[in-house]
Amino acid sequence: MKTQLENIHMINPGHSYGPSIEEQKEEGNKKHICLPSGSLVAAAGFIWAGIEVWIGDENFGTVEPRSETVGIGFTGMPNIPEGMKLQQRIRKETNQEVNFLLGGIVVNGLKSNEFNSFFGEDSQNGNRHIHLKNPHQISVIPAYEKISDEDMREYLSNEIPLYLADGCKYGCSFCAANRSGIIDPHTGEPIVVEEKYRDPEILEKDLSYLVERAKRLGINSFDIYLSNLDIFQTPNKLLEFARIVKGIKASHPGFEIRMRALSGVQSIIDADKELPECIEEIIEAGFNRVGFGIDGWKGDWKRVGKGQNNEENCRESVRLASQYGLTPELILVFGHPKTVSEDSINGVRSYVHEMVDKYDAVPRPHVAKDFIPGNLGWLKPNKFQAKGIKQILKKPIYCQSLDFTAVASRLTHEDPILRNVLNGVYVGICEEYADIGATLWTKAYSDARSQAELLEFIDFNRGREDH
Ligand code: SF4
């Protein structure tokens, strides 16, 4: 790796459930189009540091690298094999004359031997080796400017992620986000995290730019997925953001902005008591949908570090959202391998039926995986988890089995009876509520018993990108 980076080509790999580059050429194949927010924030940091940047996205088709350094951002485990495929193609086409700079939380959670095993020694963890200006204080506009009108039109016609805030004060053990309690693989110490917002003036400029660019491209509305892990965790900052969005809308009459985000169940209850204006005003600004982290049922919560949840606040948060006119989504990462029992699985099922019937909630179940890079199960695995990690390193396509949309598999859930009960309820909820937007469940590649079956699973999962 050159010590003095002069230029970089940031390339977004194809989505793990999107069509391959060959299939993209066929008429009618749905592409996965989503503005690569994390990579664009990094790109803005490079531009700020005087480094020349090109931006490409393999979801639109093959990208030929223009620099000796290629940056790849990873959004999660299922993304790793896609990034590896991209690396292999580039190595082949350039006779190995490219260095890779890789980023994303999932990359940070890998030990160095695992990182090298996946990505090779011509790769570096960009999060650790390149120090850029604090992303909270950088405008992303210079990176947006690098995107052609043609691609930008597609991005803005689909839901766009907006980097508003990051960090979560809670420490659920199954979660791989930037949260408290995550173990730094280098120091072995748990990290304490607080939610932090980006600079409000920069946010205002960035969002105004996106509205103006959309209007220039003939688009009169867009949908935003806010990056907050728990939208009501810092009410005064949320209120400040709501007023920014309202101001931008007032300057662009007729332009519609719709927003959604995740929330902890206790946070909306606290915000309703302490600063209800933050809920009222963010709704006036266009916030219309909120996904509550229910994540299992009683018996599960304390054992997975989610002691902030109880039956009462899981019901009250949904009732409150509905009373405010928001569509509540039930984000249910359940079936935690260490705590799963028929009681907790049945508790989840009854709760879902009750919330759909009473409040028109949208169930969004997912299956917990207890070893993912960044959590304790990955850092200090038990015998079963260590075997799983070994299998994944040997066959990286199995990274997909750690996707929370994938069913419980032999790789992730040891007990075959509970695995079957869990998958029955999980797939049952997804299918029963498919017409109102329940999760698009996926098959786990590690369960395929032959190459032919693996191809069948890949085919089944094609186009089932969760939203
Ligand atoms: S509350 Fe949500 S974001 Fe925060 S640690 Fe738990 S699962 Fe992760």
Ligand 1 contacts CB of residue 217 (under 6 A): no
Note whether 280 and 300 are same-domain residues: no
Cα 170 to middle of ligand 1, angstroms: 6
Note whether 321 and 453 are same-domain residues: yes
Note whether 358 and 461 are same-domain residues: yes
Ligand 1 contacts CB of residue 264 (under 6 A): yes
Note whether 74 and 113 are same-domain residues: yes
* pLDDT higher than threshold 90 for residue 350: yes
Residue to mutate (ligand 1; options 168, 331, 370; most atoms within 8 A of CB): 168
Q: In CATH, what number is assigned to the domain containing residue 24?
A: 3.40.50
Residue 239 lies in a domain: yes
Q: Using CA atoms, how far apart are residues 255 and 222, in angstroms rounded to an integer?
A: 8
| Structural domain boundaries enclosing 202 | 159-286
Cα 9 to middle of ligand 1, angstroms: 33
Could you report the per-residue pLDDT of 263-285, keeping only the tens digit for each?
999 999 999 999 999 999 999 99
Distance of CA 288 to the CA centre of its chain: 20
Note whether 132 and 200 are same-domain residues: no
Mean pLDDT of 101-123: 91
Note whether 186 and 82 are same-domain residues: no
Distance of CA 377 to the CA centre of its chain: 20
Backbone phi and psi for residue 15, each to the nearest 5 degrees, phi listed first = -70, 145
Ligand 1 contacts CB of residue 292 (under 6 A): no
Q: In CATH, what number is assigned to the domain containing residue 246?
A: 3.30.750.210
* pLDDT higher than threshold 50 for residue 185: yes
Residue holding tokens 């049952």? Answer: 428
Note whether 277 and 313 are same-domain residues: no
Residue 432 lies in a domain: yes
Cα 109 to middle of ligand 1, angstroms: 16
Ligand 1 contacts CB of residue 45 (under 6 A): no
CB 80 within 8 A of CB 399: yes
Residue holding tokens 């173990």? Answer: 183
Q: How many CA atoms lie within 13 A of 58 on its CB side?
A: 30
Cα 293 to middle of ligand 1, angstroms: 7
Residue 146 lies in a domain: no
* pLDDT higher than threshold 60 for residue 30: no
Of the three residues 230, 264, 286, the one that is the final residue of a domain is 286
Cα 214 to middle of ligand 1, angstroms: 33
* pLDDT higher than threshold 90 for residue 105: no
Ligand 1 contacts CB of residue 332 (under 6 A): no
Of the three residues 286, 316, 339, the one that is the final residue of a domain is 286
The type of residue at 189 is E
Q: pLDDT value at position 2?
A: 43
Q: pLDDT value at position 231?
A: 98
Cα 306 to middle of ligand 1, angstroms: 8
Residue to mutate (ligand 1; options 179, 290, 309; most atoms within 8 A of CB): 179
Note whether 281 and 394 are same-domain residues: no
Beta strands in 264-318 (DSSP E): 287-293
**Looking at residue 199, what DSSP letter applies?**
P
Residue 143 lies in a domain: no
Percent of all residues in the chain with a pLDDT value above 90, rounded to a whole number: 76
Residue 255 lies in a domain: yes
* pLDDT higher than threshold 60 for residue 107: yes
Residue 205 lies in a domain: yes
Note whether 37 and 105 are same-domain residues: yes
Nearest ligand 1 atom to alpha carbon 306: 6
Q: pLDDT value at position 352?
A: 97
Ligand 1 contacts CB of residue 167 (under 6 A): no
Q: Following DSSP, what letter does each residue of 212-265 receive, concatenated?
A: HHHHHTT--EEEEEE--SSTTSSHHHHHHHHHHHHHHHHHSTT-EEEEEEEE-H
Nearest ligand 1 atom to alpha carbon 264: 1
Ligand 1 contacts CB of residue 191 (under 6 A): no
The type of residue at 135 is P
Note whether 380 and 361 are same-domain residues: yes
Q: Whole-number mean pLDDT of the chain?
A: 92
Ligand 1 contacts CB of residue 293 (under 6 A): yes
Cα 92 to middle of ligand 1, angstroms: 40
Residue holding tokens 């999962």? Answer: 461
3-state secondary structure 149-196: HHHHHHHHHCCEEECCEECECCCCCCCCCCECCCECCCCCCECCCCCE
Of the three residues 251, 286, 321, the one that is the final residue of a domain is 286
Q: pLDDT value at position 75?
A: 86
Note whether 325 and 260 are same-domain residues: no
**Burial class (CB within 10 angstroms; exposed 0-12, middle 13-18, buried 19+) of 89:** middle
Q: Using CA atoms, how far apart are residues 57 and 79, in angstroms rounded to an integer?
A: 14
Pick the closest to residue 57 from 119, 100, 15, 107 (CA basis). 15
Could you report the per-residue pLDDT of 410-464, keeping only the tens digit for each?
999 999 999 999 999 999 999 999 999 999 999 999 999 999 999 999 999 998 9
* pLDDT higher than threshold 80 for residue 50: yes
Ligand 1 contacts CB of residue 177 (under 6 A): yes
* pLDDT higher than threshold 70 for residue 24: no
Residue 2 lies in a domain: no
Number of separate domains in the chain: 3
* pLDDT higher than threshold 70 for residue 222: yes
Name the closest-CA residue to atom 6, ligand 1: 172
Q: pLDDT value at position 427?
A: 98
Residue 154 lies in a domain: no
Note whether 163 and 98 are same-domain residues: no
Q: Using CA atoms, how far apart are residues 189 and 36, in angstroms rounded to an integer?
A: 31
Contacts of 107 (CB under 8 A, 6+ apart): 74, 115, 125, 127, 373
pLDDT band at 1 (very low <50, low <70, confident <90, very high): very low
Ligand 1 contacts CB of residue 404 (under 6 A): no
